Amino acid sequence: MKKRWSNFCSIFCFTFIQHIRRKGYRGGTLVGILLCFLLPVLIMGALEYLGGNAQDVSYASDSLQVYVVNHGKADLDLSALADRGAEYFDSLTFLEQEGEAEEAEKKAEASPDALVMVVDQEEGEYQVTVLEPEESEKRENAENLSSFLSQEFGAAIGQTEPEADLETEEDNMGIQEILNLLLPYLNCMLLYFLLLFYGQNVGGCIILEKTSKLMDTFLISVKPAQMLAGKVFGTVCAAMLQFALWTAALLGGFLAGAEAVRWINPRTDMILVLLIESLSLFRGMFSLGTVLLALGIILAGFLLYCALAAVGGAVSSKPEDLSNANILFILALLISFFAVLGSSGFGEQIPVWLDWIPFTAVLVVPGQILTGAVGTAAGLGILAVVFASSLLVIWLAAKVYSAMALYKGNLLTPGKILSMIKENHR
């Protein structure tokens, strides 16, 4: 048992080190880091500077009256907010209104430049809502006021992270529903491009040993399962290291780009900057444990599909056959995607059986873990199932590799491959 682990660790370390020592790997990683960091900074800065938004924002309105309905516990001094409004509006006046919002809306209907703002207070933070007027000509003023409050309300009353919303029917969809809808698509796209980029490397590592002059030495000194497991794990770790560096550089580039845009125009309304600022909405929604568990399932799923790529490498007898054999993991991913899409449409109610099939679990479970639809215990169980399935596929690849190690010729049918495995097992 100790020797088996020793062989696996040796092959894993050798494969990993060989990958990261390559000039192409290092050069590609460095160029990718520079591009991922610099492109968002340059593009966002250029769009803000050349887009004509570098000057102060001014909303066209001769006089804007805002009826304030304060549901908070404390009184608000809006004089500082009105002073800040002078930089945006020709005239901005806040009128406190006692009673409910309906009474204020009736008063606002009498004036073409009057709006209603509702202030709520939860856990010490203010939530500001600009009620959408029925008159279409007043909606632009409502949107302008909402944008102004998003930028200035918190600073004017001493709150560092204000939240201002324009109340519409589209805003009724909760964040959890949005995540349930988007995360499966994002997981599928992420896995697809990762496999497209790195899947060939896994199959290439496997077939390289078959064409090596040391094939007879490998067959005697190392078991195929140990060699394939070491090759797959080493390649996956090298791929994840490179991808993690690129992702960190990309996130840093967007953050630096947002700072560059604010430096050009402190009152910018660029969507990307507003999106980055709104990330505070997700604060407290995800715990570190759930995030790590979701990432673990994604990594295990990537390992599973890379194990399928290893099967393709084991089936191929020469590098030219690898592109045809690698259709295996692409088809598995696409079939899993359409299975999820056809059974649930990526909606709220995802069938439970999809959570426990390894190939579909990686698409739907990470999002369910983040939103709380799948508990920690079930998530750990699914992670174990996906990881065990990866090992099982690697074992299958080893059987194929052992049976076809000395085969030279065209790709065989699945039936002939099974026959060769049976003959080799005897």
pLDDT along the chain (426 residues), means of 10: 67 87 91 94 87 51 75 69 75 79 79 81 74 73 79 63 45 56 75 79 75 57 79 90 93 91 80 74 70 91 88 74 72 83 66 86 84 86 94 87 64 60 58
Whole-number Å distance between alpha carbons of 160 and 154 = 5
Give residue 12's pLDDT.
86
The residues with which 92 forms a beta bridge, in sequence order, are 64
Whole-number Å distance between alpha carbons of 12 and 230 = 4
Single-letter code of the amino acid located at 328: L
Give residue 417's pLDDT.
60
Residue 371: both structure tokens together: 């939103």
Give residue 335's pLDDT.
86
Among 300, 317, 384, 394, smallest CA distance to 8 is for 394
Cβ partners under 8 Å of residue 45, min gap 6 = 257, 260, 261, 264
* Claim: this prediction has a pTM higher than 0.75: no
DSSP three-state, residue 157: helix
Q: What are phi and psi of 113, to 5 degrees?
A: -120, 25
Whole-number Å distance between alpha carbons of 306 and 382 = 18
DSSP three-state, residue 267: coil
The angle, 0 to 180 degrees and rounded to 10, between the axes of the packed helices 23-50 and 224-264 is 20
Whole-number Å distance between alpha carbons of 165 and 142 = 10
**Number of helices (H) and strands (E), helices first, in the chain?**
16, 5
Give residue 39's pLDDT.
94
Give residue 216's pLDDT.
53
Burial label for 422, CB within 10 Å (0-12, 13-18, 19+), is exposed
Give residue 212's pLDDT.
63
DSSP three-state, residue 268: coil
